[in-house]
Structure formats: structure tokens, C-alpha cells
């Protein structure tokens, strides 16, 4: 067993007891599996101080002051995307203190700040937040069973989130099988429309090309939305976002003529729509294929997506109408 370099307080007390009983320092060292010099220094320190505990060490002095540490924290909180080197340069320009990027990271770690991948989302202004909270407060007592939540979603046939990893040895960076082929034009995508409520689910509609006002009215509202609203009941409410085809004058006229009640929707609020959870389930089901083009792959990609859509439970996620804290 290799000699240990450091003794616990209990072992130091035992060593002093053995030494006082007349046991040789070398024998004490063998019993505790340490070098004899460790026991000799312990004996000298005990005779000088009368204690076996180690003296407190000053350690390496910190290169930054508490004020500079707070400066580093403020820089990271004010500009969340700033790198450690950016903050290091600002610290040097402001205080003439030269530190390394690792020191900046250490200070931020002390404040509980860690570098993580940012979540992609919609930027909300003060007006957006006020409108979202007002919407939640106004609709807090609505019955979600009467609401048909609808939305369009686009699924990439070749998703590239930057998190794909490959196992390789040194020098195999460009080896065959270790290279991720770049897809032209993002690998293509499929756009779908769907609607859900606690009582029913509309068919998953494949939107080919751009969704115009006329197509939204003739291909979605008339054949899909109106029958679903009638099935829900006379107090059914339609939820759709503020996309231009949804809020056009022609669509508004059709909605009024069809006597469809429509919910006002705050801008930039996709997270308030429970159908987003269904899209996440469809996306995470692993239904992506590898078609050579978007046109040839749309049908192939729609088949498993449609199966996943039809297999989703109608059980709603937590009701956004009763969650104003989300705003």
C-alpha cells in the first residue's frame, strides 16, 4: 500500500499517543502507512504548539476582489450570451485586472451560473407580456372542453440540431462513416395542420405549398373546422393564432357567416396552446425518414406522422387558461 501523504485528526492523535508510549516514529509510520518524515514533522509540531490539527493555510491569493467578482456577475447577467473571454476583456478594460478565461468561469460558477445551450423561443416585449397576462386573467374561468385548439407545424425531414455526435479515433475527422452529409436546403420539410379538444381530434391535414387565405378557408375551415365545431357543441370556441391567412378580411367574413366563435389570441404566444405538446410527441416519435427531396419524401413522412397523431391521447396538458404564471 503506498504511503498516504495526509493524516486525519484521529490518526494524528493515535500517532502522538503511540509516540508518548515509546513507540518509534518508524514503527508508527508503518502502522499508519505513511512516510516516517510525516510522523517526525507531526511530533515536532505537537511539541511546538501542543496541537495535532493542521494550521490554517492562506492558500493562493485571489486575483480578483469582491467588487470585481460582482462586476463579472453583472456582465454575465446583463449580456447572457457573452463569452468568458468577452467578460475578461471588459474586466481588464475597466479595472486593469488581468485574469484568464477560466478564472471568469470559476467566478461565475461560484454565483451559480453555468454555460448551457440556449433554448430557442420567441422574444417577448413588455406589451407582449402585458397582453399575455391580460388574456390569461380574462379567460381564467373558461371551459377548455369547449375550445378547439388548432395550429400548423413544420417538421424537418432531416433535423439538424447540432447535437449529433460521432465516435472516432484521432485522425479520423474526415473518415468515411464519420462525416455527416450536409443536406441541401435543409433536407426538406413537411407542413401539417391539426386541431384538438378534450372531446375530439381533427384529421391531420398535409399542407402542400404555401397556405393562402383561399386555401385556409376552402381546405381547412370549411371541411375540417366547421364540422369539428358542430361536434363540440353550440358553445364551441375556435382558437387559431394571428398568422396573416387566419386574420384576413375574407376569413373573418367566413367565420361570421359560419357562426363560429373565435378566441382572441395574444401575439407571440405559441406556448399557451396545448397542441404544442402534441407536436412535440409527434416530433420525438422518431418518424423522420431520409428522402432524396421534399416532394418525394412528403408522403413517406406523413404516414408515420399521421399514425403518431392518431395515437395521441386527447388528455390535455395543464390548462393554459388556468396558468397565468406562464405569462
At 272-304, the pLDDT tens digits run 899 988 888 877 665 444 444 444 445 555 555
Q: What is the dihedral of CA 136, 139, 143, 144, to 10 degrees?
A: -40
Summarize the confidence of residues 129-135 as an average pLDDT: 90
Of these ranges, 7-21, 35-49, 112-126, 208-222, the one predicted with the greatest mean pLDDT is 208-222
What CA–CA distance (Å, rounded) separates 55 from 40?
16
For position 293, what pLDDT does the model report?
41
pLDDT above 70 (res 158): no
Q: How confident is the model at residue 255 (pLDDT cuts 50, 70, 90)?
A: very high
In whole numbers, what is the pLDDT of the chain averaged over residues? 81
For position 152, what pLDDT does the model report?
94
Give the residue with greater pLDDT, 162 vs 262: 262
For position 68, what pLDDT does the model report?
96
pLDDT above 80 (res 141): no
For position 138, what pLDDT does the model report?
85
pLDDT above 50 (res 259): yes
C-alpha cell at 253: 367574413
What CA–CA distance (Å, rounded) separates 148 from 274?
10
pLDDT above 80 (res 314): no
Give the residue with greater pLDDT, 164 vs 271: 271
Which stretches of 110-211 are assigned E, i.e. beta strand?
147-156, 189-196, 205-207
For position 312, what pLDDT does the model report?
58
pLDDT above 80 (res 87): yes
Q: How confident is the model at residue 167 (pLDDT cuts 50, 70, 90)?
A: confident
pLDDT above 50 (res 321): no
Grid-cell match 513507540, residue found: 23
Buried b (16+ CB within 10 A) or exposed e, 57-67: eeeeeeebeee
What CA–CA distance (Å, rounded) separates 279 from 299?
18
CB-based contact 9:33 (threshold 8 Å) = no
For position 122, what pLDDT does the model report?
74
Summarize the confidence of residues 258-262 as an average pLDDT: 93
For position 187, what pLDDT does the model report?
59
- Going from the C-alpha of 219 to that of each of 201, 271, 306, the distances in angstroms are 17, 26, 18
For position 214, what pLDDT does the model report?
95
Grid-cell match 474526415, residue found: 174
Summarize the confidence of residues 74-81 as an average pLDDT: 92
> Which residues, 6+ apart, have CB-to-CB distance to 74 below 8 Å?
none
What CA–CA distance (Å, rounded) separates 299 from 305?
10
CB-based contact 301:155 (threshold 8 Å) = yes
What CA–CA distance (Å, rounded) separates 220 from 181?
37
pLDDT above 70 (res 140): yes
Q: How confident is the model at residue 181 (pLDDT cuts 50, 70, 90)?
A: low
Q: How confident is the model at residue 319 (pLDDT cuts 50, 70, 90)?
A: very low
For position 289, what pLDDT does the model report?
44
The model's pTM = 0.58
Torsions phi, psi of 90, nearest 5?
Answer: -65, -40
Lowest mean pLDDT among 86-90, 170-174, 230-234: 170-174
Q: Percent of the chain, pLDDT > 70?
A: 79
C-alpha cell at 98: 488581468
Amino acid at each position: 500500500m503506498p504511503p498516504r501523504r495526509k493524516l486525519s485528526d484521529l490518526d494524528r492523535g493515535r500517532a502522538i499517543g503511540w509516540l508518548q508510549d515509546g513507540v518509534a516514529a518508524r514503527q508508527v509510520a508503518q502502522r499508519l502507512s505513511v512516510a516516517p518524515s510525516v510522523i517526525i514533522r507531526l511530533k515536532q509540531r505537537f511539541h511546538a504548539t501542543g496541537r495535532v490539527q493542521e494550521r490554517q493555510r492562506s492558500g493562493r491569493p485571489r486575483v480578483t476582489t469582491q467588487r470585481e467578482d460582482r462586476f463579472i456577475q453583472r456582465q454575465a447577467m446583463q449580456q447572457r450570451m457573452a463569452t468568458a473571454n468577452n467578460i475578461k476583456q471588459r474586466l481588464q478594460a475597466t479595472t486593469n485586472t488581468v485574469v484568464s478565461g477560466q478564472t471568469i468561469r470559476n467566478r461565475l460558477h461560484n454565483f451559480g451560473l453555468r454555460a448551457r445551450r440556449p433554448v430557442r423561443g420567441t422574444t417577448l416585449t413588455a406589451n407582449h407580456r402585458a397582453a399575455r397576462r391580460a388574456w390569461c386573467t380574462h379567460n381564467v374561468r373558461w371551459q377548455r372542453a369547449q375550445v378547439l385548439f388548432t395550429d400548423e407545424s413544420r417538421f424537418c425531414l432531416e433535423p439538424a440540431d447540432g447535437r449529433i455526435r460521432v465516435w472516432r479515433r484521432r485522425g479520423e475527422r474526415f473518415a468515411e462513416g464519420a462525416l455527416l452529409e450536409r443536406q441541401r436546403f435543409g433536407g426538406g420539410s413537411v407542413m401539417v395542420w391539426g386541431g384538438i379538444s378534450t372531446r375530439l381530434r381533427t384529421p391531420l391535414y398535409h399542407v402542400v405549398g404555401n397556405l393562402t387565405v383561399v386555401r385556409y378557408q376552402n381546405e381547412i375551415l370549411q371541411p375540417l373546422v366547421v364540422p369539428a365545431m358542430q361536434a363540440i357543441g353550440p358553445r364551441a370556441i375556435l382558437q387559431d393564432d394571428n398568422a396573416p391567412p387566419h386574420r384576413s378580411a375574407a376569413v373573418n367574413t367566413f367565420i361570421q357567416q359560419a357562426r363560429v366563435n373565435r378566441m382572441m389570441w395574444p401575439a407571440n404566444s405559441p406556448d399557451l396552446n396545448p397542441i404544442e405538446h402534441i407536436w412535440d410527441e409527434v416530433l420525438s416519435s422518431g418518424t423522420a425518414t431520409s428522402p432524396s427531396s421534399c416532394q418525394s419524401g412528403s408522403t413517406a413522412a406523413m404516414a408515420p406522422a399521421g399514425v403518431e397523431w392518431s395515437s395521441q391521447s386527447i388528455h390535455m396538458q395543464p390548462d393554459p387558461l388556468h396558468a397565468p404564471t406562464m405569462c
